[in-house]
A and B are shown apart, each in its own frame.
Chain A
Amino acid sequence: MWEPGQQPGCRNDLMTQSEVIARLQPIFDDLFAETVVLTPEMTADEVEEWDSLAQLSLLSAIQTDFKIRFRVGEAENTKNIGELADLIGRYVQAK
């Protein structure tokens, strides 16, 4: 369960962009009714349901699933799935 400010004790190994994207896929499958096949180039504009509520749900689910916590505004500034995956990867590595 996501606890704000909590630092899990376990250390994760380095994750590549494609590994992160593979782990993001089921999160998207749960949150969106439409089928979204993730690619590094994909942007929010390409997914009809990806509005601000979905964005919030997505970032909550990602932080819960990867046990990480983004800094304010950071994840919102990523331009596409590839950049988001890289950001997640950096957090996972830093733990």
Chain B
Amino acid sequence: MGIPSQLLEAEVLQALEYPVDVPLFLRKRRLLKQALQGRKPGVRTRIAILGGSTTAEVKASLEVFLLNQSLEPQFYESEYGRFAEDALFRNPELDAFQPRIAYIHTTWKNIRSFPALGAGSAAFEAAVEEEMSRFRAIWAELEKQHPSCTIIQNNFDLPVLRPLGNLEAGSYSGRVVYINRLNYEFACAAAGNSRLVIHDIHSLSAEVGLEKWYDANLWFSYKLAVTPFGCVLLGKSLANLIQAIYGRTKKCLVLDLDNTLWGGIVGDDGVDNLQLGSETALAESYLAFQNYVKDLKNRGILLAVCSKNEEAVALEGLGHPDGILRPADFAAIKANWLPKHQNITDIAADLNIGLDSLVFVDDNPAERDIVRRYLPDVTVPEVGSDPSQYPLILEKCGCFEPASINEDDLKRARYYEGNSTRSAAASACSDYGEFLESLEMVCEIKPFSPVYLGRIAQLTNKTNQFNVTTRRYTKAEIEEIAREDQYIHLYGRLIDKFGDNGLISVVVGEIEGRSLSILLWLMSCRVLKRGMEEAMLDALVERCQERGIQRILGVYLPTAKNAMVSGLYESLGFTKTAEDESGRTTWVFDLSFDYVPRNRYIRRSE
């Protein structure tokens, strides 16, 4: 009002970044929502909030953070305190809503029975069992009624009041002991169930501080189990988790070198004079940050260097005797004098990933600013200039929160190491076919199997370029596809002489009479132009023939990123049946003729 809206918007949107300006957020929540709704529409999702207390504050804050992550939520809210009833007894409204995520917003206030004063271990265990059987029944019923829904369950926060003082944490009657035990049981339940995800309000409430997290006044006045202040941070934490469930975890961390990974300028000060190691507080801080980054790499986050340096000098810095990060840890190294946004664009192209999968960390505010301006899709956390805080600030942006960790995440860094060797081999072969032969490729193409469901769901959410329909699926939905007979589903893995590329392609079709409609066909760009799409078609045709299917119906749904597959069907021999002005095309592939396998270079393994 009166203030230019763009200025206001930028200033207010900054309240969403770490450290969240909670009072400003609460005051401007309406404007924030308005500003975010004005941006390009995001992916729609349906979230049921099943509350053990009032949930309007949770919903209002969560909505803003989800919009900020380009997710457009629709909400169902249970009536006050009716989380258990909504789950245990069918509720037509909830059934019709078809939640993709059911969030159970419970807190310690919803624990029914605590062990009695003077309880021994038997009474304690009985109380645990009673409480757990209640929650297990809720989860089981939700899973049954909503087969493609992921359940997010809060664990328990601790009460502010501790009438027994320290004994609350030191006896079987203690509520702290009891709550910790329930949280452990929740963790065990989630570890054994891919559709159940824990939202850790136990840690979150500790971070906020219990006296700011819970206020008896608000409980008595509004049946609010978490203060509005706490609900803002809960909304952010939950949005990060939902983003991870949707496979939006960022893929690559791009790092500056001087004063980001070590103190000092390697080109000026020389390797020996850098601050890195255990000599000073500053040196220890840089080493701790390198350790944090190395851990990210070890669980599958790609690393890249983007530094204004001579490459030889940069490599010398990465050879510092006390350093943890080495040149081989990086999937791409750009050390030159080009503008950083240009190098970052090249890094994304080299690694075949989108700019929106990158996070850029640089101590220099001018570089951060210029990258933000030229590449708005790249996430650039405001890391400041104190290296002891870099890990915390990087973590708080929530970019790298995983929903789960699978085998492929652990192996990913090695695939990319193999990739640079492959490029070198390609330039040594004059004929492309000869090059493909020389790769000695072997593929495994099979129906979905349980160990791969997590990776398959992840691919549906991450793959933007080679993706004919860009449909996103949660793991629960992929499980449903694997289970139901009307689907034909295949995954493809590809191995070559340089290494295992892992699971890189997925096709799903739905059988309707004698036809198969393709719902999903995607492939990771790291195996582009290897003939894998032909191998997938061969396998798909085989499955179709086994099921007596006579035609495959293909559809291409254009997005800003998938132009590379607009001609996929045509190149594989499909016939176009329709095209509308949006660019959507439909195709048919007739199976009543003899099918000649397309794949020439990849051996199928059994």
For chain B, the count of residues having a C-beta within 8 Å of the partner chain is 25
A-to-B contact residues, CB < 8 Å: 1-5, 27, 29-33, 52-53, 56-57, 60-61, 64, 70-73, 76
Is B590 on the interface with A (CB-CB < 8 A)?
no
Q: Digit string of B192-227 for contact with A (CB within 8 Å is 1, else 0)?
A: 000000000000000000011001111011101001
A1-B22, A4-B212, A56-B222 are known contacts. Are A61 and B60 too (CB-CB below 8 A)? no
B-to-A contact residues, CB < 8 Å: 1, 22-23, 26-31, 56-57, 60, 211-212, 215-218, 220-222, 224, 227-229
A21 to B502, CA, bound (A): 65
User: Which of B27, B216, B221, B224 is within 8 Å of A61, CB to CB?
Assistant: B27
A-B CB proximity, top 6 nearest = A53-B56, A72-B217, A60-B228, A64-B23, A30-B27, A61-B27
Q: Is there contact, CB below 8 Å, between B23 and A1?
A: yes
User: Which of A31, A33, A60, A72 is within 8 Å of B220, CB to CB?
Assistant: A72
A53 to B224, CA, bound (A): 11
Report how many A-B pairs have Cβ atoms within 8 Å.
52
CB distance from B9 to the nearest CB of A (A): 14
Q: Is there contact, CB below 8 Å, between A2 and B229?
A: yes
User: Which of A1, A4, A29, A56 is within 8 Å of B211, CB to CB?
Assistant: A4
User: Which of B31, B57, B211, B221 is within 8 Å of A53, CB to CB?
Assistant: B57
Which residues of B are found within 8 Å of A53, using beta-carbon distances?
A: 56-57, 60
Which residues of A are found within 8 Å of B60, using beta-carbon distances?
A: 53
CB distance from A1 to the nearest CB of B (A): 6
CB distance from B57 to the nearest CB of A (A): 7
A3 to B211, CA, bound (A): 9
Dominant secondary structure of chain B at its interface with chain A:
helix
CB distance from B383 to the nearest CB of A (A): 23
Q: Is there contact, CB below 8 Å, between B221 and A5?
A: no
A31 to B26, CA, bound (A): 9
CB distance from A35 to the nearest CB of B (A): 10
CB nearest neighbor in A for B34: A33
A72 to B224, CA, bound (A): 13
Which residues of B are found within 8 Å of A5, using beta-carbon distances?
A: 211
Which residues of B are found within 8 Å of A76, using beta-carbon distances?
A: 221
User: Which of B23, B28, B57 is within 8 Å of A2, CB to CB?
Assistant: B23
A33 to B28, CA, bound (A): 11
Q: Is there contact, CB below 8 Å, between B212 and A3?
A: yes
Which residues of A are found within 8 Å of B216, using beta-carbon distances?
A: 72
CB distance from A55 to the nearest CB of B (A): 8
CB nearest neighbor in B for A2: B23
Which residues of B are found within 8 Å of A30, using beta-carbon distances?
A: 27-28, 30-31
Q: Is there contact, CB below 8 Å, between A57 and B228?
A: yes
A60 to B231, CA, bound (A): 13
A-B pairs with beta carbons under 8 Å apart, 7 shown: A4-B211, A4-B227, A30-B27, A30-B30, A61-B26, A61-B27, A73-B220
CB nearest neighbor in B for A35: B1
A92 to B217, CA, bound (A): 20
Which residues of A are found within 8 Å of B211, using beta-carbon distances?
A: 4-5
CB distance from B364 to the nearest CB of A (A): 30
